[in-house]
Structure 1
């Protein structure tokens, strides 16, 4: 978190007046910025594209690379009606 605050300060000092992020790993990072910050979620777009590209989703599985990605992976799996797997790095 300290490094995220440092990066937020550097971005602000560079003259940026608004930040747009995509799928922040931790939502509280938005609070590190002293300027308006918007976090967009990729799941709706990704789900639409997966459904358009792969007509047969019966054998599709969404895999989260770690526990931190489970919320996003679960959201995608739910939208495309797929199974979910989680990698345990321990």
Structure 2
């Protein structure tokens, strides 16, 4: 579909999974937004910042952001009882109000 429209290269940003690049039969440039986001939040000097992962699959990325921002890490433990439905079981981390 993409090549049929004339594309000869794809640029992506923050893919959910790096394996997605393998679905293309043209070159893929995968960009990351972390440098820009970290710079932005450091400039804002936000107090009591926490980085949350919406699920176990996002912990690695959330941990990297939390470390670079010197922020707390929060993980949401959720279950999917049915397709397209999620239930939060636990919120793990120091959530400040």
TM score, norm. by length of structure 2: 0.73
Structure 2 CA distance for aligned equivalents of residues 20 and 71 of structure 1 = 23
Of Structure 1 and Structure 2, the greater strand share is in 2
**Structure label with greater radius of gyration:** 2
Moved >3 Å (runs of 4+)? none
Of Structure 1 and Structure 2, the greater helix share is in 1
* Gapped regions of structure 2 (runs ≥ 5): 80-97
Higher relative contact order (CA 8 A, sep 6+): 1
**C-alpha RMSD of matched pairs (Å):** 1.3
Q: Offset at 1:56?
A: 4.5
* Gapped regions of structure 1 (runs ≥ 5): 1-9
Number of equivalent positions:
79
